[in-house]
Amino acid sequence: MNKLYYGNGSCTIEGDEIIALQIKYSGAIQITDKTPDNYNIIANSFKMIIFYNGMPSSLNNLFDYKGDLTITSVTGVNKNIDKVQVAIHRVMDYSELLETNAEDLTTNSESLNAGHLHKGKVRKTTVDNKIMKNQQSKGYLYREDGTSYSGLFHIHLETGLCMTGSEHTKGSQDLYILRKKDNKLIKTGTTKKQVSSKTATTRRTSRTTSGGASSGGY
């Protein structure tokens, strides 16, 4: 039986060679990645994904955390790329207390909250490791001047931006992809949401400067 344990600021998994995970949760935490070097964690406000880059390995230690965490569901993938069930085990779990003799119950009220809040609340979920390192481009990425780039690069997970070099340094340069329909270079990490926001800002500015209904300012 595959079991995920969390509480007291740590999260681990035990079972049949789990190599990837999707965890749905509520709360907000600061995540310290404890997975192997070829793994990464990405997270938003309700879900995190733990995935491998290159050769997978069995997962055990997942992450440490600070903040408020309640895990609601876990989906695992094993070495055969099959989805598997994962039981959630919170430390301390109230169901354990119900099976405890009253004379043996010495847990105080702070310990009962161990599975949820650890070292105070945080504003939003963050992951300390924000870069996927040691990626290999075989010419499908480009430099700003249009020359094809072959070699190691890294990816900024929060934005999707690809940059030269296996790790991030001051000398890292942005990388681009080539849009086939018009042969235009597009910076990696650019999203429709970002473009739409920029377009909306431009439209508002145009209305304001033209003396339209928005000319009262902001």
Which parts of the chain register pLDDT below 70? 92-115, 190-218
Instruction: State residue 209's pLDDT score.
Output: 38
Question: Can you tell me whether residue 113 is helix, strand or coil?
Answer: coil
Instruction: State residue 102's pLDDT score.
Output: 53
The Cα 205–Cα 8 span in angstroms is 50
Instruction: State residue 119's pLDDT score.
Output: 87
Instruction: State residue 20's pLDDT score.
Output: 96
Instruction: State residue 103's pLDDT score.
Output: 54
Nearest to 118 by CA among 57, 58, 40, 31: 31
| Token pair in block for residue 199 | 């377009």
Nearest to 157 by CA among 41, 2, 27, 37: 41
